[in-house]
């Protein structure tokens, strides 16, 4: 099964780094987040990767020319500078041979068990399975009665709802739902698939962290050691 990693966005919210490199190449404890992702998939036996690049694509290509991965095939496909997530995926359809594939975003890490994820997908027999996660809490919670704070506590992630955490298992019929380069995968395609009852969520309770901002990067660098997410 091939693994698609979307790595073409501009990463404007972390411009401290993305002025010179694409977001998936930002170092997390001295290793690009993209490499952390590849290593996680490799631990589950996946060795065929398609990286959908765009913004500063040459940085990714040059890195993987120098960095060799043993027993691993990595293709970097430039999917356009301004192409949206759905459009990037559609441009890769000819490389996926009408087979089931894995896909995730190049700016988020998790210790999701990929074997269990795929088993879940096969059992449910849906078009697409996404990994649902609870976003890390950002604020403390308080209860106020008549202007008096009755309690205060640090907010837990269980206070938050479930969100799309990436790490998808996708059937090739997905491409019928993607119109063109301007299509956001997370809008019309996923909305339609959900309405048709073909989208299922695999709930992941373990480590997950995206990297949208500098603060996220700092959190990720601290937590990645604690969770050791690359272990099965």
pLDDT at 172: 97
Mean pLDDT of 194-219: 93
pLDDT at 153: 52
Indicate left, alpha or beta for 45 from its phi (over 0: left) and psi (-120 to 50: alpha).
left
- Compare 158 and 213 and report the one with higher pLDDT: 213
How is residue 63 annotated by DSSP? Answer: H
What whole-number percentage of the chain has pLDDT above 70? 86
pLDDT at 149: 46
Residue 141: which pLDDT band, with cuts at 50, 70 and 90?
Answer: low
Mean pLDDT of 132-159: 58
- Compare 226 and 106 and report the one with higher pLDDT: 106
168-170 and 101-105 strand pairing? antiparallel
Residue 224: which pLDDT band, with cuts at 50, 70 and 90?
Answer: confident
pLDDT tens digits, one per residue of 4-38: 999 999 999 999 999 999 999 999 999 999 999 99
For every residue of 35-52, which 3-state class applies, written as one string? Answer: HHHHHHHHCCCCCEEEEE
Topology at the third CATH level for domain 3-135+162-227: Spore Coat Polysaccharide Biosynthesis Protein SpsA; Chain A (3.90.550)
């Amino acid at each position: 099964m091939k693994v698609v990693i979307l790595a073409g966005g501009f990463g404007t919210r972390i411009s401290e780094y993305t002025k010179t490199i694409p977001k998936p190449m930002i170092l997390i404890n001295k290793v690009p987040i993209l490499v952390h992702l590849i290593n996680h998939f490799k631990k589950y036996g996946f060795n065929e990767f398609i990286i959908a690049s765009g913004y500063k694509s040459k940085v990714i290509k040059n890195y993987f020319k120098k960095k060799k991965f043993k027993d691993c095939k990595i293709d970097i496909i430039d999917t356009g500078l301004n192409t949206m997530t759905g459009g990037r995926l559609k441009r890769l359809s000819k490389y996926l041979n009408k087979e089931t594939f894995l896909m995730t975003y190049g700016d988020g890490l998790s210790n999701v068990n990929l074997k269990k994820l795929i088993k879940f997908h096969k059992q449910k027999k849906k078009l697409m399975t996404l990994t649902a996660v609870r976003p890390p809490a950002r604020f403390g919670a308080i209860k106020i009665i008549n202007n008096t704070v009755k309690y205060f506590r640090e907010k837990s992630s269980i206070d938050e709802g479930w969100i799309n955490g990436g790490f998808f298992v996708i059937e090739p019929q997905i491409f019928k739902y993607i119109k063109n380069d301007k299509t956001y995968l997370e809008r019309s395609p996923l909305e339609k698939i959900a309405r048709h009852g073909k989208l299922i969520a695999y709930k992941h309770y373990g480590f997950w962290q995206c990297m949208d901002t500098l603060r996220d990067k700092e959190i990720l660098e601290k937590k990645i050691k604690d969770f050791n997410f690359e272990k099965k």
